[in-house]
Structure 1
């Protein structure tokens, strides 16, 4: 299993709305994430800096490259784009975090 960590950035005042939207995550988005092999996907919020820390596992991280082309992913990004830092294509600004230690 391959592991990936990255950070994203929430806009001020949207902590509860971000959590609410994820509590109601669309089933078709969950199906897509599972279809590309994503497992153990967690997102944590540092409320002091509004930094979102995400961690996921997948058998092949290369399969995640399929996500931007998927219609449901495009819709989700647009839906979330008003409450977090986003790129011009509505994808979240995301910065990979390299692994420096792992204890299986």
Structure 2
């Protein structure tokens, strides 16, 4: 299992609409995310539009490929593109993962070895 985190910036003037678009996300998009192999997926929105996302997957490359080929994901990403600062193309394909520097479970497990 791989943990993936990413950071994006939502245009400050579009924060309320961004939140509304996620309350709820299209059911068919939720199904595609799950079918891609992403799970335990959360998005957090901080001050100034700083967005942090997190999910777990067994194969992130396969999940990206699945979503890249999905017509539903293409429609969702096209509808969401105007919300982000400094992003070109589909956010689900262009967001750069943030490196993990600490995980409690991993460190506790290492103590048991």
Q: TM-score range by the shorter chain?
A: 0.7 to 0.9
Which one has the largest radius of gyration?
A: 2
Work out the CA distance in 2 between the residues paired with 1:73 and 1:24: 15
Deviation at 1:95, TM superposition (A): 2.5
Residue-by-residue CA offset, 1:1-48 (whole Å, 9 max, x unaligned) = 211001111012111111110112111111111111111111111123
Structure with the higher fraction of residues in helix conformation: 2
- For structure 1, the 5+ residue unaligned runs are none
- For structure 2, the 5+ residue unaligned runs are 106-113
TM-score (norm 2): 0.81
Aligned to 2:50: 51
Deviation at 1:69, TM superposition (A): 2.1
What are the residue-to-residue correspondences of 1:67-78 with 2, within 5 Å? 67-78=67-78
TM-score (norm 1): 0.87
Compare relative contact order (CA 8 Å, sep 6+) and give the higher one, 1 or 2. Answer: 1
Q: How many residues align?
A: 101
Name the Cα RMSD after superposition.
1.4
Work out the CA distance in 2 between the residues paired with 1:37 and 1:69: 14
